[in-house]
Each structure stands twice: as C-alpha cells, then as structure tokens.
Amino acid sequence: MLKIYLTRHGQNQDNADGILNGHRDESLTTLGLDQAKMTADYIREAKIDFDKIYTSPLLRASQTAKVIANELGVNEPEIIPELIERDFGSMTGKYVSDIKALCQPDIIETDTVTYFLAPDGAETFSDLVRRGEVVIELIKEKHPSGSVLLVTHGDIGKMMYAAYYDLDWRDVLINFHFGNCELLLLSEDSPASEVHVFKQNQHNH
C-alpha cells in the first residue's frame, strides 16, 4: 500500500508580511525553518520512513524539504514542477487584507482564509484539482507501495486532498485548513476525516 504524506512549506517572508505569494519566491523566515525542524522531529518520533521526498520548485518548499531531508538523513529531495503553488494571477503580490475589496463577490470566506476564485490570470480551483490528480497518478506510477513525502503549498495541497478523496473543492475550502508545515496523510486505509497527522501553532498567516 502507498502512503502519500503532504506537508506545506514553513512560513516565508511573504506569509509573515501578509502578502499573497503564489509564484513569488521568497525564502523561509527563522520561524519557517523552526517549523520545518519541528515537522522533522515529529516524523522521526512517529517512526515514519520515506522512500523519497519530492518538492515544489519554489524556494520556500525546497528549503523546507531540505531541512526535513537533512534532519531525517534522507536523500536529496527531487523537484516535481506540478507541486508548485497556484498561480494567483493578478492577485500575486497583493496584500491578504485587500482580497475582499479586489475580488468580491467571487470569494469564499472561512474562519482562517478568504479565497479568491477567479481574478485575471489565476488558476481556478478546478484547474488545481486536475493538477492534483496528475501528481497523484505520477506518484502512484513511481511508487506502487511504500511512503513518500510531498512538500508543497496551501492551495494545491488542499486540492490534492480533494482529488485523492474525490471531494468537492468548495467543501474542502470551507471545511479544511492546511497550515505551514502541517502533515497530512493520503492513504487507502486513512479516511478523509483523519487526514491531519500533525498540526502546528500558526503565526502570521
């Protein structure tokens, strides 16, 4: 049986500054590095062994992946381009606090995040579900069994979860939060309701 673990990158400077990063490529903050180490500590204590670690090409994810790999003594992470975050289009680089003003009524508000649905040039969540399906099939082809870790981002990570468990993306946005360096498990013997393996206290988005 294949177990696919997902973690979101640690906090980066855009997260700390309340800026929508999308494909922007800022480094991890000191807190982000600490979050990555805490996730590695949990993985070690839980005795989870990975056959391979894959990462998004963006710096905040690849730095997170390298910290975890180094802490666990796993080989260099391999980049999968499709693990990259959603293209935020015209919202790239805008402040999180401006989402409602710039994007309503095409938004979904939750307790933790306000999601914009269709700004100019942005990938839609349906696009992300399809991309998530591509990644999952790729991983299944490479690894018929065993355990792998995918280091990715908030929106694409949530849509991979939606794709794996065949859930409606709107329901996932409303009911599901994927914080920095939290760990998820996608597996045939792990129900969708129990996907969170490890949660962290979140600071500054």
Catalytic positions, written as ranges: 9, 85
- Euclidean distance between CA atoms 120 and 197, whole angstroms: 35
Asked whether the beta carbons of 10 and 198 are under 8 A apart, the reply is no
Task: Give which of 64, 66, 82, 41 is closest to 179, Cα–Cα.
Answer: 64
Task: Give which of 67, 15, 13, 55 is closest to 179, Cα–Cα.
Answer: 15
Joined together, the tokens standing for residue 181 give 């360096």
Q: What is the DSSP letter of 180?
A: T
Distances (CA, A) of 59 to 20, 79, 201: 15, 11, 22
Whose tokens are 């080989």? That residue is 75
Q: Hey, is 197 helix, strand or coil? A: strand
Joined together, the tokens standing for residue 30 give 């000191």
- Euclidean distance between CA atoms 63 and 11, whole angstroms: 11
Where does the chain have alpha helices with state H? Answer: 13-17, 30-45, 59-72, 99-103, 125-142, 154-165, 169-175
